[in-house]
Structure 1
Amino acid sequence: MWRQLLDRFGLPVAFAIVGVMGVWLILMVLLPQWQMIDYSLHPSLLPAERGGEKDVWTLTNYLTFFRNDIHLAIFFKTIWSSVLVTALTLMVSYPLAYYLAKVATPGQAALCLLLLIIPFWINEILRTFAWYIIFAFRGPLNELLFALGLIDRPIRFLNGDTGVLVGMVYAYILFMVFPLYNAIESLDGNQIRAARDLGAGWIRTHRRIVVPHAKPGIATGCIMTFMLAAGSYAVPSLLGSPGSRWFTQIIYNWFFEGGDWNQGAAYAFLLLALCILFVTLIMRIFKVGLGDIAK
């Protein structure tokens, strides 16, 4: 990377770019994460006790998490639901990305991309509220199903995880579509036509030609979608029921309702560590490196 910057921009500009990136990395990533780790390793003390003999590093905040069966269940439920959101988003986005990259005309692709992007000009909270209205007990979806004779009583879509899953798939679909679109668009269409001429069906063509070529895009989309879903707060808060709490809501409660920033930092770091583990696992599954994802 340094050699490419040096050859393209020269020594002064290359130094400036690397310097800005280094400052941004230190101030916006490393220092906040270190502060969170430091908070998580200190007990929650009164202001007068800070800096005293009780103010030492301890694993008490982490042990609190592992001793709380309810929080453990919510944690693993959040991880499983985030994986499910990622899988559903991939299932929805892959056909759409392939259509945009290889089937649609330039005009059709531009129109579809515009229709995808325009709703995201609106704030995420407002878009989530729109789904709240749609899924309401007396909302448009129930009224439509009732008018079509498909149901005889309203369905409580918001009583469980259904609303959360749908809302998250909609909220993060662009983070899956664009990496897939960029990866599939670079595929030479002659390879697809050759596979079809040799008798391969559509499923085999995608399995042997398109999907292997699109692995970096799939990995990038899955990583971004999972991390956004696992760290989401607005969508589960608005579309989830009391019985479908997200782990981020527990973290929020520790920070802003319980006032225990040390315990909240421990919970947040555990979620971060799990997300890093997931990223590593996805890279191993798809056999891609950071360089492939960054393309």
Structure 2
Amino acid sequence: MSPNGIRVAFSRFFHRWGPGVGIFVTGSVALWIVLLIVLPQLAMFDASFRFNLPPAEIGGPRDLHTLSNYAALLLDGRGGINWLDLGVLGRTILAAVFVTILDLLLCYPIAFVLAHGTSGGRARLMVLGLIVPFWVNEILRAFAFRIIFGSSGVLNAVGLGLGLWAAPVDFIRQDVALYAGLTYTYLLLMIFPIYNAVEALDRNQIEAARDLGSPWWRVHWRIVIPVAKPGIASGATMVFMLTAGALAAPQILGGPSSLWFTQLIYQWFNEGGNWPRGSAYAVVLLLACILVTLLAMRVFKVRIGEIGR
């Protein structure tokens, strides 16, 4: 959205709700953004350029800026490249892309059916069926997935009972449980943006295309998806960012070889006690996610204003 568009939106909001409500809402949003987003990010960015000093030396003559925390991510200390940490970062980004694509493939049909395939009580029942399971805490859902996909879990019990496989399958070690858990966790963040976009589509356009003999895939490709593209972009952005920054699910559902980059950040902050190094790793993850998102927006020709609708 352009600055002029933002001004018009604020003007309409103030005109509709009055100056009192307008000032309260605007001030609350500004306070939220500054205190909980901007200032913490600036503090973390500044800390990433500091040495890991004892509290008594912070602010003293040794408290200088340095690039050593970022160099530690690139170099292993022996003159070589730190392939371990860089590999974890790359795998995390690729895994987040995979989960985002999987969520899109699952959620697009659900959002379309919810918008144009149901109405009245059935639509409300479907929405409740989607929302109610998420009343359960994320940690409990992750442990539930571990029980389902464990060696002696429900899935293995059913598979062995039906003779689908001869021995228990280790879904945890193969990261099946991790990807399933992450995909499920962010379903709603993909469904509702697409639903909001598709709901605005005139059903007569779909009916006209069907009457003219267009197959279902062409109707979606030429009519529905162009309308749903802002919702798809918004949902994909949220799912990708949150998946790349997930910690609980990788800790609980991840196998021995599925180290997540957020786990490295957690280790530097808490186990290593090196907040500057952890801050540098967090900044790198944030910048990597932003670059991937901007690249995807450029490839699919989506503007930032469309995502914010």
When normalised by structure 2's length, the TM-score is: 0.92
SS in 2 for 1:204: helix
SS in 2 for 1:174: helix
- CA-to-partner distance for each residue in 1:160-213, whole Å, 9 max, x for gaps? 321111110111111101111111111100000111111110011100000000
Q: CA deviation at 1:104?
A: 1.9
1:22 and 2:30 aligned: yes
- 2:55 — aligned with what? 47
Stretch deviating more after TM superposition (265-274 or 47-56): 47-56
Select which of 101, 106, 109 maps to 1:87: 101
Q: CA deviation at 1:290?
A: 3.3
SS in 2 for 1:281: helix
- CA-to-partner distance for each residue in 1:231-269, whole Å, 9 max, x for gaps? 100111111111111100000000010000000000001
1:74 touches 1:245 (CA, 8 Å); kept in 2?
Answer: yes
- 1:244 — aligned with what? 258
SS in 2 for 1:74: helix
Q: CA deviation at 1:12?
A: 4.2
Separation in structure 2 between the aligned mates of residue 155 and residue 203 of structure 1, nearest angstrom: 36
Letter in 1 for 2:274: D
Structure 2: segments with no counterpart, 5+ residues: 1-8, 76-81
When normalised by structure 1's length, the TM-score is: 0.96
Stretch deviating more after TM superposition (126-135 or 274-283): 274-283
Letter in 1 for 2:145: W
SS in 2 for 1:160: coil
SS in 2 for 1:62: helix
Q: CA deviation at 1:109?
A: 1.8
Q: CA deviation at 1:20?
A: 2.4
- 1:208 — aligned with what? 222
- Written as runs of structure 1 = structure 2, the 5 A alignment for 1:1-295 is 1-67=9-75, 68-295=82-309
Stretch deviating more after TM superposition (1-10 or 50-59): 1-10
Q: CA deviation at 1:106?
A: 2.4
Letter in 1 for 2:10: W
1:74 touches 1:246 (CA, 8 Å); kept in 2?
Answer: yes
SS in 2 for 1:58: coil
Could you say if the C-alpha distance between residues 16 and 93 of structure 1 is closer, same or farther in structure 2, counting changes exceeding 3 Å? Answer: same
Separation in structure 1 between the aligned mates of residue 183 and residue 40 of structure 2, nearest angstrom: 29
Letter in 2 for 1:85: V
1:176 touches 1:225 (CA, 8 Å); kept in 2?
Answer: yes
Separation in structure 2 between the aligned mates of residue 140 and residue 21 of structure 1, nearest angstrom: 45
Q: CA deviation at 1:23?
A: 1.9
SS in 1 for 2:169: coil
Stretch deviating more after TM superposition (133-142 or 47-56): 47-56
Q: CA deviation at 1:4?
A: 1.8
Structure 1: segments with no counterpart, 5+ residues: none
Letter in 1 for 2:18: G
SS in 1 for 2:151: coil
- 2:5 — aligned with what? none
Stretch deviating more after TM superposition (31-40 or 49-58): 49-58
Separation in structure 1 between the aligned mates of residue 62 and residue 279 of structure 2, nearest angstrom: 18
Q: CA deviation at 1:47?
A: 2.8
RMSD (Å) for aligned C-alpha atoms: 1.4
- CA-to-partner distance for each residue in 1:81-128, whole Å, 9 max, x for gaps? 000000000001111111111112322222221111111011000011
Separation in structure 1 between the aligned mates of residue 171 and residue 21 of structure 2, nearest angstrom: 55
Separation in structure 1 between the aligned mates of residue 300 and residue 106 of structure 2, nearest angstrom: 19
1:42 touches 1:56 (CA, 8 Å); kept in 2?
Answer: yes
Q: CA deviation at 1:11?
A: 3.7
